């Protein structure tokens, strides 16, 4: 396979995560779609991001918001058609935006023809060999091993065989509607080669690899040693048999060869919540994926020492493999960081297991979130912006129980509220729901709080001090300041509770995480500040300076 010259646009790209269901609705069904996204592309181009990552758009029963795929080579009718996807791509490219799609390859939907065929064909059939069907223990009545689901509960569900008898169990590291594929099956590998080519041939610029560490399992499926009530805390696991097993890397090398065979190459970014930066760096070795989300950074509490440690460890682990870091504060899987940073316990847990645990001071959270934005966008490498973070949206913690849809809610026995609170549709304009998200009079698929009237895109566009204006200014400066385009990075020693670093000779970022104002008078010209405030940097404030200019 020939390798063409590789483009490196992704090394410093800002990628905007479009959670499609909640971005913008064009057909009045209360669910975001491709038409809505096309209509709002100029907003994203003006915001100043380089690329979009669009969450799964494939036909899906939506048991997990589209991460349960029933057909990998089509678009769900709720979102549009393949022609809409082609049009979106063309228009995004015309607006200077690259497009990354989400590939969910660890599991399919239980409605995928492969799984339906496996159920129908019965034990021992070649159809079942694409998935993990096993006999239960204790005469069949207990799961084959102790593995757990990321959404709570066991990772196994028992089926009824075609003759109606209670039968084998199948593995699902996520919801029961998401059976895991067996990637040791050659047919699975070949089918996904074709799926990658299907999208690359259409002009997709990259792929976000969902649940990458799940894709290989230790042979024989041995117990993991999970105790009763164990949580899916993959950031602490060592030698786990169903997560971050070394066999995953062979799959990614295979995918990389496919991506590299395209003119300019194609980007792969992995979602890999693993134990520390060294394990993470294995996913981005030169012949594997290009980048990986940095969940250690996302999970860090708002604390200078912790953030410095994560930044250092991330850069140190990636340096030997030559991959750029990514910096991520929020996604459709985490409690929004305005809310997290407003809590005493500001660290993040994944899959919505921390949503609503303790009250948040949202004014404090927003102040920190604005400072965190300047920190994140000043670090070397690529950065991700989750839709709505540019509006300073908080988590919606008061969604009524009966609208909750995330599988975490039911699977945790209604103890964890799950991820719906970060997925509430965006407020675009107007003074009451649906705030231009959908046609007036239509209910969005999750209700928006009326108090979001002050946070709409329209309201914030008109206000130079808004969070949206701060993001726009930062994203535009990021393109203009030469130091921010390179990969130069040097810490500046200041007080313990202050994060400070230079990017080249004419750019410095200073974040004050102490409780005291910090005097920066005479240390340079202010390029951008997360709060108005002259030469005194208030607590929980960040500033971008040109130290060479007075």
Residues found near ligand GLC in the complex (CB under 6 A)? 64, 67, 104, 174, 210-211, 271, 332-333
Please report how close the Cβ of residue 67 comes to ligand GLC at its closest, in angstroms: 3
Tokens of 365: 């959270």
Closest approach of ligand GLC to the CB of residue 167, in Å: 25
CA distance 52 to 15: 5
Report the residue from 27, 86, 410, 497 that binds Mg ion according to the rule CB under 5 A. Answer: 27
Question: 385: Cβ–Cβ under 8 A, 6 or more apart, which residues?
Answer: 14, 15, 16, 17, 49, 471
Q: Would you say 36 or 352 has its CB closer to Mg ion?
A: 36
- Residue (31 or 362) nearer to Mg ion, CB: 31
Check: CB of residue 538 under 8 Å from CB of residue 371. Answer: no
Task: Give min distance, CB of 493 to ligand GLC, in A.
Answer: 38
Residue 271 interface partner, choices Mg ion, ligand GLC, none, CB cut-off 5-8 Å depending on type: ligand GLC
Could you say whether residue 84 binds Mg ion (CB under 5 A)? no
What is the DSSP code (8-state) at residue 12? G
Please give the DSSP secondary-structure letter assigned to residue 516.
Answer: S
Smaller CB separation from Mg ion, 265 or 434: 434
Which of residues 20, 23, 25, 248 is near Mg ion by CB under 5 A?
25
DSSP-based three-state secondary structure for 183: coil
Q: Which is nearer to Mg ion, 106 or 438 (CB)?
A: 438
- Closest approach, Cβ 111 to Mg ion, in A, equals 21
Q: What are phi and psi of 221, to 5 degrees?
A: 50, 60
Residue nearest to ligand GLC (CB): 67
* Cβ(15)–Cβ(52) below 8 Å: yes
Per-residue binder mask for Mg ion (CB under 5 A), 29-48, x = binder: x-x-x---------------
Tokens of 499: 């994060």
Q: Which does 174 bind (CB under 5 to 8 A by kind): Mg ion, ligand GLC, none?
A: ligand GLC
Closer to ligand GLC by Cβ: residue 69 or 323: 69
107 vs 472 by CB, closer to ligand GLC? 107
441: left (phi over 0), alpha (psi -120 to 50) or beta: left
Partner whose footprint covers residue 27, from ligand GLC, Mg ion, none (CB < 5 to 8 Å by kind): Mg ion
Distance CA 495, CA 342 (A): 23
Residue 323: which of Mg ion, ligand GLC, none does it interact with, CB under 5 to 8 A by kind? Answer: none
Please report how close the Cβ of residue 29 comes to Mg ion at its closest, in angstroms: 4
Rule CB under 5 A: is residue 214 a binding residue for Mg ion? Answer: no
CA distance 346 to 398: 19
User: Applying CB under 5 A, what is the total number of residues that bind Mg ion?
Assistant: 5
One DSSP character per residue, 292-335 reads: E--HHHHH--S-HHHHHHHHHHHHHHHGGGTPPPEEES--TTS-
205 binds, among Mg ion, ligand GLC, none (CB under 5 to 8 A by kind): none
How far apart are alpha carbons 505 and 546 in whole angstroms?
8
d(CA 51, CA 206): 10
CA dist 145 and 156 (Å) reads 8
Residue 244 binding result from Mg ion, ligand GLC, none, given CB thresholds of 5 to 8 Å by partner type: none
Contact set with Mg ion (CB under 5 A): 25, 27, 29, 31, 33
């Amino acid at each position: 396979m020939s390798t063409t010259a590789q483009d490196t646009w992704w090394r410093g790209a800002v990628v905007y995560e479009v959670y499609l269901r909640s971005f913008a609705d064009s057909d009045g069904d209360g669910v975001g779609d491709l038409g809505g996204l096309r209509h709002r592309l100029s907003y994203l181009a003006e915001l100043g991001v380089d690329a979009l990552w669009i969450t799964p758009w494939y036909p899906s029963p939506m048991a997990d918001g589209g991460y349960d795929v029933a057909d990998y080579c089509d678009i769900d009718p709720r979102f549009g058609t393949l022609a809409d996807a082609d049009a979106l791509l063309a228009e995004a490219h015309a607006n200077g935006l690259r497009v990354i799609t989400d590939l969910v390859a660890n599991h399919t939907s239980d409605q995928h023809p492969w799984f339906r065929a496996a159920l129908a064909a019965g034990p021992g059939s070649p159809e079942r060999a694409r998935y993990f069907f096993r006999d239960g223990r204790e005469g069949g009545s207990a799961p084959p091993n102790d593995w757990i689901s990321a959404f709570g509960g066991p990772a196994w569900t028992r089926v009824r065989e075609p003759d109606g008898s209670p039968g084998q169990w199948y593995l699902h590291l996520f919801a029961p509607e998401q059976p895991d594929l067996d990637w040791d099956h050659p047919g699975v590998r070949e089918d996904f080669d074709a799926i990658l080519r299907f999208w690359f041939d259409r002009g997709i610029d990259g792929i976000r690899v969902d649940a990458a560490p799940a894709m290989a399992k230790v042979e024989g499926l041995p117990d993991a040693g999970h105790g009763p009530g164990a949580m899916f805390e993959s950031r602490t696991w060592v030698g786990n048999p169903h997560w971050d097993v070394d066999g995953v890397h062979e799959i990614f090398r295979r995918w990389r060869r496919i991506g590299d065979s395209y003119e300019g190459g194609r980007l792969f970014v992995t979602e890999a919540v693993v134990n520390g930066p060294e394990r993470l760096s294995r996913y981005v070795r030169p012949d594997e994926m290009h980048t990986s989300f940095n969940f250690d950074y996302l999970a860090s509490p708002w604390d200078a020492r912790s953030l410095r440690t994560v930044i250092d460890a991330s850069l140190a682990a990636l340096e030997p493999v030559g991959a750029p870091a990514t910096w991520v504060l929020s996604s459709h899987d985490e409690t929004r960081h305005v809310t997290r940073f407003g809590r005493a316990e500001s660290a993040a847990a994944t899959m919505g297991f921390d949503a609503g645990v303790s009250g948040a001071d949202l004014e404090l959270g927003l102040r920190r979130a604005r400072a965190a934005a300047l920190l994140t966008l000043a670090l070397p490498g690529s950065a991700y912006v989750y839709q709505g973070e540019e509006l300073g949206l908080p988590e919606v913690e008061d969604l009524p129980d009966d609208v909750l849809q995330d599988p975490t809610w039911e699977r945790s026995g209604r103890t964890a509220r799950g991820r719906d609170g970060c997925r509430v549709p965006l407020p675009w304009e107007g003074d009451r729901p649906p705030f231009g998200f959908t046609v007036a009079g239509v209910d969005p698929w999750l209700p928006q709080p009326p108090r979001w009237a002050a946070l709409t895109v329209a309201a914030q566009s008109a206000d130079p001090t808004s969070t949206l204006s701060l993001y726009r200014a930062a994203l535009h400066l990021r393109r203009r300041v030469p130091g921010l385009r390179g990969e130069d990075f040097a810490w500046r020693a200041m007080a313990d509770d202050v994060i400070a670093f230079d990017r080249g000779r004419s750019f410095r970022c200073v974040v004050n995480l102490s409780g005291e104002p910090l005097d920066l008078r005479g240390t340079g010209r202010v390029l951008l500040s997360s709060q108005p405030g002259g030469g005194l940097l208030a607590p929980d404030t960040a500033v971008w300076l040109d130290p060479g200019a007075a």
